[in-house]
Structure 1
Amino acid sequence: MLLTVGNATSDAAIGADLLPAAARTISALLPPGAAVRTITVLSYFNGAHTAGPVSTLALWSAIAAVLLGLRPRLIRRRAATPA
């Protein structure tokens, strides 16, 4: 889902101004859109307003780290439960 929706709304192929309102909102919340915006802001605007996209990427990274940390516990619990 992230690959399909994220790439289509990432602002990389077309600018954010040309995206529909719903796609523009989704783009800001998904990692591909946040990454493209961060690179754009760093390249053209000397890093102004990078807090939003960097925060989005940090939040996705934190969620992924928590899920990866919980994975061994879930596997052990599933293995201990008789089928």
Structure 2
Amino acid sequence: CRTGHAFIGEYYAKFVPSESKECPCGHPHQTRAHILQNCTRHDEYRRTLTDFDPEISITRLLNEEKGMAALAEFMRLTGAYTKTG
């Protein structure tokens, strides 16, 4: 997530153009921000992130220990950023 290398459309658009850049929720661009802040597939678990930061700042999530813990839990619960998630 921090390096931009992940199984998401944002990465595929740059490095694997044969893969779809769309999100499985139907949004045309699957980006890190979309997954964390807006993707309807993860609404159920978004509170994991908003409890840490109501704005869901990617900078804070990646640079603060509690943010990284919240992000890790969100990823565990959702499978986000994995090939099947």
TM-score, with structure 1 as normaliser: 0.30
Which of structures 1 and 2 has the bigger CA Rg?
1
Which protein has the bigger helix share? 1
TM-score calculated relative to the size of structure 2: 0.29
Higher RCO, 1 or 2 (CA under 8 Å, sep at least 6)? 2
